[in-house]
Amino acid sequence: MSVLSSEASVQAGLAMAWYCVRSQPKHEHVAARNLRRYYGFEVLNPRLRFKRCTNRGAVWVTEPVFPSYLFVRFDWLYSLNTVIHTGGVAGVVHFGNFWPTIPAGVIDELRTIVGAEEIRTVEQTIKPGDQVEITGGTFDGLKGVVTRVMPARERVGLLMDFLGRQTLVEVGLDRIVNTNGRYAAQLL
């Protein structure tokens, strides 16, 4: 590959652009950190923060929006090898000799959605009539229908089938997960 002058690379359309970079499995954060810290590249690694059911109850987890992928802005002609050989990076997405770029408008929209911290928090909305599953504690794994929400006490009233009859119980909001699939995204 011959080295073009900066002006020639701009004319050839190879100046600074956004590219999709593939990370090593579960190393998106490592690749993003290394690309920023050691080389000063502009990086976008959008992530979601949400509650997930575990045997310990509902816990907050943060996961990438695009597992094993992130977006990096660099000059393809001069920085491709640097990006490819950065710790945590598996490669740059390409199709043969075609290296697709991501339009800046798409990156701007993603940044608007995830904010400066690159994390979008997804909160559950619980309201009467929702079907929920209890996580952790005595009723772990049981399902019920929300009859009332008590935000001041951080509890909900549930109607459950328990021991062959319908029973009303109160459960902490941190112990339930909405099984209706309704979520309201909010930035915290």
Question: Is the pTM value of this prediction over 0.85?
Answer: no
Ramachandran category for residue 155: left, alpha or beta (phi over 0 → left; psi -120 to 50 → alpha): beta
Domains (ranges, CATH) in the chain?
Answer: 6-123 (3.30.70.940), 125-185 (2.30.30.30)
Q: Given pLDDT bands bounded at 50, 70 and 90, which one contains residue 2?
A: very low
Strands 143-150 and 155-162: antiparallel
- CB–CB of 154/170 below 8 Å? no
Asked if the model's pLDDT at residue 14 lies above 80, the reply is no
Pairs from 56-64 (Cβ < 8 Å, separation ≥ 24):
56/136, 57/135, 57/136, 57/137, 57/174, 57/175, 58/135, 58/136, 58/174, 58/175, 58/176, 58/177, 62/119, 64/28
DSSP string, 69-113: EEEEEEEHHHHHHHHHTSTTEEEE--BTTB---B-HHHHHHHHHH
pLDDT for 186: 31
How confident is the model over 24-58, as pLDDT tens digits?
A: 999 999 999 999 999 999 999 999 887 776 667 66
